[in-house]
Amino acid sequence: MKNRSSARARSVAVAGTVPVLALSALLVFAFATLLRAEEKIIRSHAFSELGLVKYGPDFAHFDYVNPDAPRGGELSYSAQGTFDSFNPYAKQGRAAARSSEHFEALMTPSYDEPETLYGLLAESLEYPESQEWVIFNIRPEARFSDGTQVTAEDVVFSHELLLDQGLRSYAEAVRKRIPKAEVLGPLRVKFYFAEDVSRRSLITQVASVPVMSKAWFMEDPKNRRLDEPRLDPGIGSGPYVLDSYDINRRVVYRRNPDYWGDHVNVNVGRNNYETIRIEYFSDSVAAMEAFKAGEFTFRAENNSKNWATAYNFPAIDKGWIIQEELIDGNVPSATGFVMNMTRPQFQDIRVREAVQLAFNFEWTNDSLQYGLFQQRHSFWEGTHLEAKGLPEGREREVLESLGDVLDPSILTSEPIRAHSSKPDRVTDRRNLRRAMKLLDEAGWLVGDDGMRRNDQGETLKIEFLSDSPTLDRILLPFVDNLKRMGLDATYNRIDSSQFTLRRRERDFDMIYSGYLTSLMPSTELRQLYGAEAAAYSVFNASGISGPDIEPLLDNIIAATDAEEMTANVRALDRVLRSKRFLVPIWYLGKFWVAYWDMYEHPEVLPPYALGTEDLWWINADKAAALKADGALR
């Protein structure tokens, strides 16, 4: 009886605690709810990941524009290759130039701040300090080019369409981090962010989604798909609409006279041309001749030989054409000759270093490029994010935290730099001897026929793939140096459509390509270097990834202050350079432009954009004078 009484007493006691526990849980829940309710909600016209915003809510226009720029005339420039679609998001085909420009986003970047966005389709945004979600308030006046209103439904539809039919690398990265988009009202849309991910760049991500017309897609959902090429560009809200085209020859865009956003502060002084025409050419020689004849009137030069020697024709002598060098404040893209890391011949780092040593930058620059370029070493060349010297302070701590997956030499050595070569001849024998020793050590030995083979008798085969004739003179000497070392090296130039397909499918040994860089790197790094996207990301040409890379990506994306971000980016720079998957080449640090003397631009251009298409304008009097002189038709 005593035991029974005790048990009953215990059961009564436990039962009696249930309401107390429930009440406690309710109090905890209520307190948490109260805390969330009291969390500060930020309402703003702009957003910056580190909170640095230059322009206040009442700014009239960006500092770098000419608010009184005249409107009219035509911008015309060239493109090389072909096009067969006006859908820039298709997984097949080759989209025409500017085919994504008629889609606008909720916010737009400024050109004089590294990573700050200002309201475009959205007039404002709201988010808690924790950035668990964000709400955008769409401008009531925002309209698509067919006159229909841009709504929250269009925004959610566009977001989901990109996840369902867009690039896999994009969808996989975004779906896990942004699980839900919700229409709160006709002009009010909310994005929710996953609990277990960094808040870095999530707002930037959704603010930059191109907004498309839901009604247009739903009129014919079977044929109007985002993942298939089409010649109908669809309905956007941007300042220009497609006017005409001739496949593989010409595209013309015309400024929409009913464009809704002309008087929005972020657009004042911009979008000044009546038409924008792009002329297509099969090769750069034909394009240059067409420019000299006035068939198009603006040329952004990317060929050093042309810049140094080709601008000596009559139109230059008569002062009809202006050459100008303008400062480029962007981080130089990490371009070079990329090795496909899924190929077996590149699995040994000694082979990759040997391939690097066969390229002679100094001879190439002096003999082929007129000494106009600088050698690139870092993925963040010339910025505060570039790794230099021995790792110290927080950067060293970050590297040490990687443990056994880190190559220990990274802690005791300066970051890998591009090798130096003698400029007087293409073959630097010292570098080739060093390269051949590395190949011997890697088991690629020279046979009686002078070819290097492994223990299975396979030659060390490397095919360089390209679609650009301008690369011929750069790549052929490089290939010759590889052949001198006994490699089975070839150079194969193919047409642009084949090249696009093979690049997308990573069906190559080596190509000229690169990696986009930023002063505020964030989630895009997963598509560039992340392990999950390495197999399919079109932004990771080499397929590089690794356990020493992945934690650094996590740290950079999670960083909430500039010091932490900088330390981790420098650490990533060291690790990437140590892997030698890319032969670093050159960078310029300026824009080369040549144009018929009727274009004008703001006296002080912004540091992060040339702005030809949206900041420059046509001087009508100068254009008329050129025509009167018979220079232009």
Taking only the tens place, the pLDDT of each residue in 96-142 is 999 999 999 999 999 999 889 999 999 999 999 999 999 999 999 99
pLDDT tens digits along 85-109: 999 998 888 999 999 999 999 999 9
H helix runs in 190-232, sequence order:
202-207, 214-219
In this predicted structure, the answer to whether residue 13 has a pLDDT above a threshold of 70 is no
How many other C-beta atoms lie within 10 A of the C-beta of residue 628? Answer: 9
Mean pLDDT of 75-90: 94
CB 175 within 8 A of CB 99: no
Strands 461-466 and 510-515 come out as parallel
In the DSSP assignment, the letter for residue 265 is G
Residue 416 backbone phi and psi in degrees, to 5? -60, 135
H helix count then E strand count, the chain: 19, 26
In this predicted structure, the answer to whether residue 577 has a pLDDT above a threshold of 90 is yes
Amino acid at 296: F
Beta-bridge mates of residue 514: 335
Distances (CA, A) of 491 to 346, 444, 473, 518: 17, 21, 11, 32
User: In this structure, what is the dihedral angle of CA atoms 572, 414, 375, 503, given to the nearest 10 degrees?
Assistant: -30
CB within 8 Å of 13: residues ≥ 6 apart: none
pLDDT higher at 529 or 197: 529
State residue 173's pLDDT score.
79
Structural element, H or E, at residue 516: none
In this predicted structure, the answer to whether residue 1 has a pLDDT above a threshold of 60 is no
- Written as six digits, the tokens of 290 are 């067409």
CA 514, 519, 523, 526 torsion: positive or negative?
Answer: positive
Spatial separation of the C-alpha atoms in residues 129 and 197, rounded to whole Å: 15
State residue 522's pLDDT score.
87
pLDDT tens digits along 421-430: 999 999 999 9
State residue 560's pLDDT score.
82
Spatial separation of the C-alpha atoms in residues 75 and 253, rounded to whole Å: 10
Mean pLDDT of 558-564: 88
The strand ranges marked E within 347-484 are 374-375, 445-446, 452-453, 461-466
Residue 165 backbone phi and psi in degrees, to 5? -125, -5
State residue 25's pLDDT score.
47
pLDDT tens digits along 210-235: 999 999 999 999 889 999 999 999 99
4: pLDDT confidence band, cut at 50, 70 and 90?
very low
How many other C-beta atoms lie within 10 A of the C-beta of residue 363? Answer: 19
Spatial separation of the C-alpha atoms in residues 510 and 529, rounded to whole Å: 18
SS3 (DSSP) at 273? coil
Spatial separation of the C-alpha atoms in residues 146 and 159, rounded to whole Å: 21
State residue 2's pLDDT score.
39
How many other C-beta atoms lie within 10 A of the C-beta of residue 223? Answer: 10
Name which of 71, 121, 590 is nearest 374 in CA terms. 590
Taking the mean position of all CA atoms in its chain, how far away is CA 512?
16
CB 610 within 8 A of CB 434: no
Distances (CA, A) of 476 to 42, 346, 422, 482: 57, 20, 18, 10
In this predicted structure, the answer to whether residue 395 has a pLDDT above a threshold of 90 is yes
Mean pLDDT of 130-155: 97
State residue 33's pLDDT score.
52
Q: Please, what is the average pLDDT of the chain? A: 92
Spatial separation of the C-alpha atoms in residues 77 and 318, rounded to whole Å: 21
Full set of structural domains in the chain with CATH:
43-68+103-219 (3.40.190.10), 240-329+589-628 (3.40.190.10), 334-587 (3.10.105.10)
CB within 8 Å of 30: residues ≥ 6 apart: none
pLDDT tens digits along 14-53: 333 444 444 444 554 554 454 455 679 999 999 998 778 9
pLDDT tens digits along 235-288: 999 999 999 999 999 999 999 999 999 999 999 999 999 999 999 998 889 999
CB 106 within 8 A of CB 211: yes
Share of the chain above pLDDT 90, in %: 82
